[in-house]
Amino acid sequence: AQSVTQLGSHVSVSEGALVLLRCNYSSSVPPYLFWYVQYPNQGLQLLLKYTTGATLVKGINGFEAEFKKSETSFHLTKPSAHMSDAAEYFCAVSGAYGNNRLAFGKGNQVVVIP
């Protein structure tokens, strides 16, 4: 079984400051890891994903995440926050073998302060 922990439901960041969202996972098989963003009244949109290969993954809108197996982590970062980054962010994991269902964390609501 797979699970994800995201701490701190609400994250406030100043415009232009570093965005850091933490994600720790648990998986009994090699994990596939995903970050999704959800804007109000919209579906989830994929930011980036890690499956195999390079552990530093770059995604859309300037976001990136690094897979660290030793720390069972997949933290999301963006060097400089923009007002348009205000949204809810979800980390998710699925297993390399099986039905590919996604197990999501509880999410982080990001507020960008001008």
Partner 1 sequence: DTGVSQDPRHKITKRGQNVTFRCDPISEHNRLYWYRQTLGQGPEFLTYFQNEAQLEKSRLLSDRFSAERPKGSFSTLEIQRTEQGDSAMYLCASSPRDRGTDTQYFGPGTRLTVL
In 3D space, the residue among 58, 30, 31 whose CA is nearest the CA of residue 46 turns out to be 58
Q: Tell me the C-alpha distance between 50 and 17, whole Å.
A: 25
Examine residue 18 and tell whether it contacts partner 1 (CB under 8 A). no
Examine residue 98 and tell whether it contacts partner 1 (CB under 8 A). yes
Q: Tell me the C-alpha distance between 35 and 59, whole Å.
A: 9
Span 27-56, contacts to partner 1 by CB under 8 A: 32, 34, 36, 41-46, 49, 51-52
Q: Tell me the C-alpha distance between 90 and 6, whole Å.
A: 8
The nearest distance, CB 68 to partner 1, in angstroms, is: 19
Residues in touch with partner 1 (CB under 8 A): 4, 6, 9, 32, 34, 36, 41-46, 49, 51-52, 90, 92, 94-107
